[in-house]
Amino acid sequence: MTKNRKRVDIQEMVTGRVIEALKKGKNPWVCPWVGCVVDGVAYNHGCNFTTKKAYRGANRLLTNISGFDSPFFLSFKQMVGLGGKLRPEMKGKSTPIVYWNWIEKEDESPKGIKKIPFLRYSSVWNADQIEGVDFGVVERVEAGEEKIISRCEEVVKGYENAPPITHGGNACFYTPSVDKIKMVAKSSFKRVESYYCTLFHELIHSTGHKSRTGRLVGQEGASFASASYSKEELVAEMGAGFLAAECGIYSRELSKNSVAYLRGWLSRLGEDKKLILQASSAANKAVDYIKGGSSE
């Protein structure tokens, strides 16, 4: 099997898992570990237990839909190194983690070398699948409304070079041509979480402006049924979900609404194996830009 064939298989695997989750009513962009506290430390995301680094992009989606109570994962080597072992009934039930490797080829460029990325994956296991390692006790601590509002406002105010946000009317949208966000009044929402998730969706869209990441350049006027529109909606939904998790927002109601909204794109996901990987990567870059002013 060629390396290119392996790359396509990985894309199919990731897309297949996400589609299956959506069909079952699971929203891959909603983090199940929001409000999770272990040994006094809050984890609103899945992460590697050894490094404590949060998973990003498609790996965030893959771990979100893994179905475990613990936010911690380990590779087999890490598990053995900590003196742990896999529970017998968990063999063959790992979670894939994708990453890029680079190969170098000689070419006619000034440097004489061209770097070519190719997609690979490895396997990790959740703490619930492992015995012999002390992962700590998982507790659930729901953030109060006041704390959630404070965290959300920090995100909004921390977005440098942000577009103007006005309130009024009966629709929420971002207009790239004038670089403005329009929101209905906050009081129109039944839950404050709904307001901020909607605002985050529009903020993610705005990062695509030519003055920011440039993701939307050339897509002006794209139709609702177009591939570029569907990809951008996925980017906005994922990015909003990532920001919501970091702010401590988790709502089953929001999760169901979002799944129903995205089910219309299932055929798109099946037609384009690259869509999930590309959209999740773009969503992470958008979140990074909002939080730090850089898409790198």
DSSP per position, 210-237: TTTT-TTTT-TT--TTSHHHHHHHHHHH
pLDDT score at 105 = 78
- Given a contact cutoff of 8 angstroms between Cβ atoms, the answer to whether 197 and 254 are in contact is yes
CB 55 within 8 A of CB 8: no
Mean pLDDT computed over 56-69: 95
Q: Which helix (H) or strand (E) covers residue 241, if one does?
A: helix 227-246
Mean pLDDT, the chain, as a whole number? 87
Asked which of 69-73, 110-114, 259-263, 285-289 is least confident by mean pLDDT, the reply is 259-263
Q: How confident is the model at residue 4 (pLDDT cuts 50, 70, 90)?
A: very low
Is pLDDT of 166 > 90?
A: yes
Q: Which string of DSSP letters, residue by residue, matches 104-125?
A: EEE-SSTTSEEEEEEEEEEEEE
pLDDT at 277: 93
CA pseudo-torsion sign 32, 34, 38, 42: positive
Q: What is the pLDDT of residues 98-126, one digit of tens each?
A: 998 888 777 776 676 777 888 899 999 99
Statement: residue 252 has pLDDT above 90: no
User: Could you tell me if 29 and 260 are in contact, meaning their C-beta atoms sit under 8 angstroms apart?
Assistant: no
Contact 275, 231 (CB under 8 A): yes
Domain ranges of the chain: 3-292
pLDDT at 5: 42
More confident residue, 37 or 267: 37
User: For residue 288, what pLDDT band results from cuts at 50, 70 and 90?
Assistant: very high
3-class state of residue 67 by DSSP: coil
Average pLDDT over residues 139-165: 93
* Confidence band for 257, pLDDT divided at 50, 70 and 90: low
Looking at the chain, the whole-number percentage of residues with pLDDT higher than 70 is 86
Asked which of 23-27, 89-93, 254-258 is least confident by mean pLDDT, the reply is 254-258
Q: What is the pTM of this model?
A: 0.87
Residue 92 CB burial class (10 angstroms; 0-12, 13-18, ≥19): exposed
Identify the H or E element spanning 131: strand 130-131
Joined together, the tokens standing for residue 161 give 């070079």
Is residue 6 scored above 90 in pLDDT? no
Give 185-217 pLDDT, tens digit per residue.
999 998 999 999 999 999 999 999 999 999 998
The pLDDT > 90 percentage for the chain reads 63
What is the pLDDT, as a whole number, of residue 244? 94
Rounded CA separation 195/70 (Å): 29
Structural tokens at position 153: 């406002």
89-93, 158-162, 220-224, 233-237: least confident range: 220-224
